Structure 1
């Protein structure tokens, strides 16, 4: 079962989620435009209740960061249209092992801060945790106004079948056979199509262990993403945008890694970030005993690579509208 490291320790996702937070901020204009277009189109029939779902919410500060921004934008538009306060239903989804308690603990301070930021007139907000896979139905039909997902849809529902020939790799690598690449693509196609179908209905280190371990993860290209959305047929595409962020995500501009903070510092922070996400999956397969040594070696590999290469995380952001 895939989930991030819970709690607030050094290896927790809550303490190592700056990269996703930066990407959420970078891509916020797309979400802002989407909710603005939706509410402006409903100006004469402005909703009295807004139902928002975050698919793959994880735990930690990012879980409520996007929702907070979205509610503030809705409140701004509500006042512009001279509408009374809304009721908000916020549905936070992730797999059963997610640390939902960490999210709920932070709700009182979030609501207090939100109410102050919107001038003390925030309507009732109802938050619910919804454990389960988003590759299936989670909500009643036609119950959602706005669905958001960040750093989640590249995770597949399972490791693809028929990839035993991917020896020496835990994922897609330079030596991965074409048949394995096609197996990952096929699994992504199946999962993503199911995700769109369900949201449309709801919306508005042993060698042997390494060879047996594969990460259920696939990053589609922009053209693949567009093709799947169009072929599935439930949504029209408003935009698909590519954003890039340096592996040294503390840098303010993309530049050679060697000219920013030391690569050793950056490699350590990157390894902590990856560990906060991947460790539960690794422990399930390899056991806990090797984790410190594994990530010590991984930090060294990242450091060596960053000395001579500029490395970026590439992110796809899509804004979709359900078709009538």
Structure 2
């Protein structure tokens, strides 16, 4: 069962592609806001890297790139930051070429990124009066919880809002009959037995350690990583942070059970492959794995007023979660309930925010390969 569940995730899990009303491209403003708030850290890190190494060809990877405008916007910012450093140096060598590797799971809508490349290259030329640097962009489908690139290929790895996704739902949350022990919840919630939170933490440790091991082989000595992911402040999971959004989604699904629009068994058997670590948990795994030095670890709280204010916070959250989870929810519950599910979910988020604020935490991690 475990292998089938992992295989299913790698095949089925993807952000909603295209440019339709439920697509990730149209519903990733919250992710864009978080990456923008961390942008100064990302660009400072890549500039420090370039100053220290001055490679003729700079290998960049965006792991978990998804689709839509966010990825190429970040790549353009990185290119401009490196060029600014190059202009400020007295070096006579030409500007570096950029080898950009875009990674996500195989079902990701890479085609939408490819369709945007001509305009991306035109913008680079227009901003530089026709003299843009050589930029080579390729897609690398596959799980980043495994090797993706040859040894010593990369100088800089960027990953935004991806590493909180685990390689699989933790197998230890299932009993001997293969049934989830996390009944009524799709993630760690107030009624979850202790074995559930332990299983999620153990899976995070296994996955994050493997991620570090793989990247340590692929990065050159002194290479850098900037990792932006959802996290939590304290050791407990039951707070009004990122875990709370999943609890509200569980409640919304449960509300569809009573009128018979879905079955209780389907709710009990749906679990998300997500984990929001603390800063201490990340630091502990970095030290334990031993390939990287932790240069920086910061906690951000993205202002909830910075979503799509025209439609309200609850709807923005609902559209964002739908763009992320639609591929999995439609397969498990059926597409016919999704409109009602996320309409109710958006209202519930607004009701809860009116009672007491929800404080989703984002962690920004900067690592340097030893």
TM over 0.5: yes
Contact 2:307 2:316 in 1 (8 A): no
Give 2:79's aligned residue. Answer: 71
Picking from 36, 46, 53, the partner of 1:35 is 46
- 1:76-115 Cα offsets, whole Å, 9 max, x none, are 1111124312211100000011000000111111111123
Contact 1:4 1:277 in 2 (8 A): yes
Whether 1:300 aligns to 2:347 is yes
Write out aligned runs for 1:197-212 (5 A).
Answer: 197-204=213-220, 205-212=262-269
Distance of 2:62 and 2:273 partners within structure 1: 21
Write out aligned runs for 1:244-283 (5 A).
Answer: 244-250=301-307, 265-283=312-330
Contact 1:247 1:270 in 2 (8 A): no
Contact 2:35 2:160 in 1 (8 A): yes
Task: Note the C-alpha offset of 1:307.
Answer: 1.3
Give 1:155's aligned residue. Answer: 165
Distance of 1:117 and 1:321 partners within structure 2: 31
Write out aligned runs for 1:26-175 (5 A).
Answer: 26-42=37-53, 46-81=54-89, 82=91, 83-163=93-173, 164-175=180-191
Contact 1:52 1:144 in 2 (8 A): yes
Give 1:177's aligned residue. Answer: 193
Distance of 2:304 and 2:170 partners within structure 1: 28
Q: 1:196 to 1:119 in 2, by over 3 A?
A: farther
SS state at 1:90 partner: strand
Task: Note the C-alpha offset of 1:289.
Answer: 1.4
Distance of 1:168 and 1:58 partners within structure 2: 30
Greater shift, 271-280 or 132-141, is seen at 271-280
Identify unmatched segments of 5+ residues in structure 1.
252-260
Task: Note the C-alpha offset of 1:118.
Answer: 4.0
Task: Note the C-alpha offset of 1:120.
Answer: 3.5
Give 1:291's aligned residue. Answer: 338
For the aligned residues, what is the CA RMSD? 1.5
Distance of 1:51 and 1:41 partners within structure 2: 15
Identify unmatched segments of 5+ residues in structure 2.
1-11, 174-179, 221-261
Whether 1:317 aligns to 2:317 is no
- 1:144-178 Cα offsets, whole Å, 9 max, x none, are 01001000000000000121221100011111111
Contact 1:11 1:272 in 2 (8 A): yes
